[in-house]
Amino acid sequence: MGYLMGSNKIIASAPGKVTLFGEHAVVYGEPALVMSIGKRVYVTTELRNDNLVKIVASDLQLPGVSVTFSGDELIIETDYGKTLSAVAYLRGAIDIVSKYLGIFKGVNVFVRSEMPVGAGLGTSAAVAVATVLAYSKALGYDLEKREIARLGWEVEKSVQGIASPMDTSITTYGGVIKVKLLGGNNYEVKELQASTSLPIVIGYVEREARTKDLIMKVKDLMSRHPDLVSNIIKIIGILVEKAEKTLMEGNLMLLGELMNINQGLLDALGVSNKRLSDLIYAARTAGALGSKITGAGGGGCVIALAPNNQEGVEVAMRLSGGLTMRTSLGGTGAMVHSHEPHTS
Amino acid sequence: MGYLMGSNKIIASAPGKVTLFGEHAVVYGEPALVMSIGKRVYVTTELRNDNLVKIVASDLQLPGVSVTFSGDELIIETDYGKTLSAVAYLRGAIDIVSKYLGIFKGVNVFVRSEMPVGAGLGTSAAVAVATVLAYSKALGYDLEKREIARLGWEVEKSVQGIASPMDTSITTYGGVIKVKLLGGNNYEVKELQASTSLPIVIGYVEREARTKDLIMKVKDLMSRHPDLVSNIIKIIGILVEKAEKTLMEGNLMLLGELMNINQGLLDALGVSNKRLSDLIYAARTAGALGSKITGAGGGGCVIALAPNNQEGVEVAMRLSGGLTMRTSLGGTGAMVHSHEPHTS
C-alpha cells in the first residue's frame, strides 16, 4: 500500500457475524443465537516514533481513505470529503486501549475488510476488536479474550452512545453465542461450544428502513395485536432453544427447517419485504436447506444454509437481484497473524 | 348454444368461495372464515318430454363438452375423449333431487362457469348447488336454503366419497361462514352477518402438490416440532376470532394486516413456495392492504384485498406470473334468475 513497515508490525483479524435465530424476539427478552462468519476484518498496526495516529482504510466499500489525526485535529488524505464511520471505531480503539494500559504511542493503522460496512454483519465490532488486539499487542501486551471483548464493547459504546455487547462478544470469541436481554442495558451472553464450519450464502439487498424503525414497526404491531404478536415472539423463543440443541448435534436438515419456520414467523411480524422474500425463496428453490432474514429485516441481509450447493444457491440469489457472498458459519474469533492471509 | 328452450327454462346460479382465514389450522380444530366471491356458476335447466338427461358444459376450462346419458349409458357428444368431473356433480344433483322429491323428469342442463375448475374456488359445490336449485325449481318445488345446502352436500359426498359441508354451505348462503371441525366427519357451520362487498384480486399459479399432500406436510412438521407447530396453529385460531370481529366492523386496514400475519404463519407451516410468495409480495407492493394464500397452498390461489387499487394489484400479480381474476368478497348465495345476467 505504499507504506514501508518495520518488523514491529502486528496483524490482527476478527470475524463478522450473523444472527442465526431470534432477531426481534430478543428485544422482548427471548434468547437469540449469533454466529461468527468466515469473512473478517484485518487490522495491521505499526508503532511510530512520533505521537501521530495514521489510519489507512481500504476495501470498506468506499474508495481508499487515508486519515491522519493528532490530538483532535483530523487530516483526511484523500480527495473524498468524507471519512468512514469505521475510522471512528479505529480511533476509539486506540484511545481506549491507551487509557486501559496507561500507555500511548503513535501508530500507523491499516484496515482491510472482506465484508461491506453497514450491512448488519458486525463490521464495526470486528474493526473495534481487531484494533484493540493489534494495538495492545504492538504495545507489548497480551490481553485476555475477556479484556479484548470488554474493551471492544467500550469502543462501540463510545462511538454509538449505546451498544449491545453481542457483536463485540461474537467477534472476539468466534463460534456461537446465545444472547439474552435482561432489562435496562443488561445482557446475558453465553458462549456455546463452537460447531463445525457450516457453508452458507449471504445475500444483501438495499435497506428500506433502519433497524430502529423495524423495531418500532414490530412494537406497533404488538400494541394492536398483543395476543398474536406476544405468542409469535414466544414461539421464536422456543425455536431458539431447539435450534441451539440442533446446532450442537450438527443436524443440518433440521437446522434448515427451523430457519424456514423462523422466517415465516418474521414474515408474520411484518419485517420482510418483496426483495428479501425473493432471495429467500430463490435460495430454497436452488436447494438451500433453509433461508431467512438475518438481522432486523426491511432489506439488508438474508442467510441461506447451503452445505451441498453453495454456488448454485449464490447464483439463484444473484439472479433474484441480491448482492451475495459465500462464506461459512463459525469462523475463528479475534486472532493475531504472523502474516496477512489472502482473502478467502 | 343451438338448443331451443321453452318457457319452462329455469336459470339458477351459485357463487364460488375463498378461505379468508384459518386454512390448515381448521384441520386441527381451529375455526376458519370462508367467504363467497363475486364469480358464479350458472346452471340452466329445461324439462324434456322424454327421460333423457342432456348436459352441455361450456366455459369450464375445457372446450365445450356435451354429454347425454340415459340410465347408465353415457354419450359424449364432442370430439374430446374426456368428460368434465363437473359432469359428475351435475348428474349427481339430478339424481339426488329426484330421489328427494320422488319425481324424475328428463332435462336439458346448461352449465357456464365464471371460475376455473380445480383452483380451490369451490366450483364443484357451486355446480352441485345451482343444479339442485334449478332442477328442483323446474320440477315445481321451492326448496328452503337449508334443504338446498344439504342436498348439495349429498351430491359432493356421492361424487367424492367424503366432503365437508363448507363449500356447499357458503355457495348456498353466500356472505361469510365460520367453520369448525368437531372430530370424525362432524362440522359446525355458523352463518355470519354478510358484510359489504369487498374488492379483491385472486391470483392463481399451478399447483405443485395436492391438498392432501400439503395437509400431510403440515402433519409431518407437527410430528417433528409439536411445540412450535401446535402454537402456530393456536395463534391462527386466535387470529380467526379477531378477523371475524374485524370483518363485521368493516375495518379493511386491520383486516389486511391480519391477512398478512396469517400469511406469515402459513409460511412458517411450510405451505408457501416461490411462486405464491412472488404473487403475495407483488400484490402488497402494488398497494394491496393484505395478501395471502387461500386454501392449502403449494401453488393454487392467492387472495389480495385491494379496495382502492384493484387494477394495479391485478397487473402486478400478472407481471409476477399469475393468472388473475378481479372480483369481490361476499357474493349473494344461490339464487334463481329471471334471465341469465352478463358475465361480470
pLDDT at B194 over 60: no
Residues of A in Cβ contact (< 8 Å) with B205: none
Residues 219-238 of A with CB under 8 A from B: 221, 224-225, 227-228, 231-232, 234-235, 238
The C-alpha of B164 sits at a distance from chain A's nearest C-alpha, in angstroms, of: 28
* Concatenated DSSP letters of A138-201: HTT----HHHHHHHHHHHHHHHHSS--SHHHHHHHHBSEEEEEEEETTEEEEEEE-----EEEE
- A59 is a catalytic site residue: no
Please report whether residue B343 resides in a domain: no
Nearest-by-Cβ selection for A270 from B227, B228, B260: B260
Is B12 within 8 Å of B137 (Cβ atoms)? yes
CA–CA gap between residue B21 and residue B258 (Å, rounded): 9
Residues of A in Cβ contact (< 8 Å) with B262: 268
pLDDT value of residue B80: 41
Q: Please, what sign has the CA dihedral across residues B225, B230, B231, B235?
A: positive
Residues A178, A90, single domain; the answer is yes
Interchain CB contact of B285 with A (< 8 Å):
yes
Nearest-by-Cβ selection for A235 from B224, B232, B267: B232
Residues B9, B130, single domain; the answer is yes
Range of the domain at A222: 200-325
Average pLDDT, chain B: 88
Is A54 within 8 Å of A107 (Cβ atoms)? yes
CA–CA gap between residue A84 and residue A343 (Å, rounded): 21
Return the active site residues of B.
167
Is B326 within 8 Å of B334 (Cβ atoms)? no
pLDDT at B106 over 60: yes
B113: amino acid identity, one letter: S
Among A55-69, A142-156, A282-296, whose mean pLDDT is lowest?
A: A55-69
Is A205 within 8 Å of A279 (Cβ atoms)? yes
Task: Check CB contact under 8 Å for A267 and B268.
Answer: yes
Q: What is the mean pLDDT of residues A111-139?
A: 91
Interior/surface letters A140-154, b for 16+ CB within 10 angstroms, e for the rest: eeebebebbbbbbbb
Residues of A in Cβ contact (< 8 Å) with B267: 263-264, 267-268
Please report whether residue B288 resides in a domain: yes
Residues B186, B56, single domain; the answer is yes
B177: amino acid identity, one letter: I
Residues A177, A38, single domain; the answer is yes
Nearest-by-Cβ selection for A228 from B239, B266, B280: B239
The C-alpha of A230 sits at a distance from chain B's nearest C-alpha, in angstroms, of: 10
CA–CA gap between residue B292 and residue B303 (Å, rounded): 6
Q: Which residues pair with B21 in a beta bridge?
A: B33
Torsion of CA A241, A246, A247, A252, to 10 degrees: -140
pLDDT value of residue A166: 87
Task: Check CB contact under 8 Å for B257 and A227.
Answer: no
CA–CA gap between residue B194 and residue B176 (Å, rounded): 6
pLDDT at A67 over 60: no
pLDDT value of residue B331: 86
Query: How far is CA B235 from each of CA B26, B231, B246, rounded to the nearest angstrom?
Result: 12, 6, 16
Interchain CB contact of A217 with B (< 8 Å):
no
A80/B195: higher pLDDT: B195
pLDDT value of residue A58: 66
pLDDT at A320 over 90: yes
Interchain CB contact of A257 with B (< 8 Å):
yes
Q: How many domains does chain A have?
A: 2
Residues 151-210 of B with CB under 8 A from A: none
Q: What is the mean pLDDT of residues B145-156?
A: 95
Q: What is the mean pLDDT of residues B78-84?
A: 41
User: Which residue has cell 338427461?
Assistant: B53
Residues A92, A204, single domain; the answer is no
Residues B261, B285, single domain; the answer is yes
Interchain CB contact of B98 with A (< 8 Å):
no
Nearest-by-Cβ selection for A228 from B235, B269, B273: B235
Q: What is the pLDDT of residues B323-338, one digit of tens each?
A: 999 999 998 999 999 8
Residues A167, A206, single domain; the answer is no
Residues A127, A40, single domain; the answer is yes
The DSSP secondary-structure symbol of A236 reads: H
Interchain CB contact of A241 with B (< 8 Å):
no
Residues B186, B121, single domain; the answer is yes
Query: How far is CA B19 from each of CA A97, A268, B127, B215, rounded to the nearest angstrom?
Result: 62, 18, 18, 15
pLDDT value of residue B137: 97
Interchain CB contact of A287 with B (< 8 Å):
no
Please report whether residue A13 resides in a domain: yes
| Helix H or strand E encompassing A216 | helix A211-224
Strand positions, DSSP E, chain A: 10-21, 32-47, 53-58, 65-70, 73-76, 107-113, 176-183, 186-192, 198-205, 290-294, 300-305, 323-329, 335-337
Interchain CB contact of B244 with A (< 8 Å):
no
Residues of A in Cβ contact (< 8 Å) with B245: none
What CATH number does residue A15 fall under? 3.30.230.10
The C-alpha of B268 sits at a distance from chain A's nearest C-alpha, in angstroms, of: 4
Task: Check CB contact under 8 Å for B224 and A254.
Answer: yes
CA–CA gap between residue A223 and residue A36 (Å, rounded): 34
pLDDT value of residue A181: 87
For the record, the C-alpha cell of B90 comes out as 351435475
The length of chain B is 344
Q: What is the pLDDT of residues B299-320, one digit of tens each?
A: 999 999 999 999 999 999 999 9
Nearest-by-Cβ selection for B264 from A234, A265, A278: A265
Please report whether residue A119 resides in a domain: yes
Q: What is the mean pLDDT of residues B44-64?
A: 78
Nearest-by-Cβ selection for A273 from B262, B278, B281: B281
CA–CA gap between residue A173 and residue B173 (Å, rounded): 64
Confidence band for A70, pLDDT divided at 50, 70 and 90 = low
Please report whether residue A343 resides in a domain: no
Please report whether residue B344 resides in a domain: no
Please report whether residue B342 resides in a domain: no
Identify the CA nearest to A89 among candidates A146, A43, A20. A43
Task: Check CB contact under 8 Å for B268 and A263.
Answer: yes
Q: What is the mean pLDDT of residues A116-136?
A: 91
Q: What is the pLDDT of residues A246-297, one digit of tens each?
A: 999 989 999 999 999 999 999 999 999 999 999 999 999 999 999 999 999 9
The C-alpha of B223 sits at a distance from chain A's nearest C-alpha, in angstroms, of: 13
Which chain A residue lies closest to B275 (C-alpha atoms)? A281
Interchain CB contact of A284 with B (< 8 Å):
yes
Average pLDDT, chain A: 88
Interchain CB contact of B264 with A (< 8 Å):
yes
Task: Check CB contact under 8 Å for A266 and B266.
Answer: no
Interchain CB contact of B274 with A (< 8 Å):
yes
What CATH number does residue B222 fall under? 3.30.70.890
Residues B135, B245, single domain; the answer is no
Please report whether residue A42 resides in a domain: yes
Catalytic residue among A59, A72, A142, A167: A167
Residues A255, A178, single domain; the answer is no
**3-state secondary structure at position B116:** coil
B22: Cα separation from own chain's centroid:
15
Strands B53-58, B107-113: pairing is parallel
Residues B270, B164, single domain; the answer is no
CA–CA gap between residue B12 and residue B9 (Å, rounded): 10
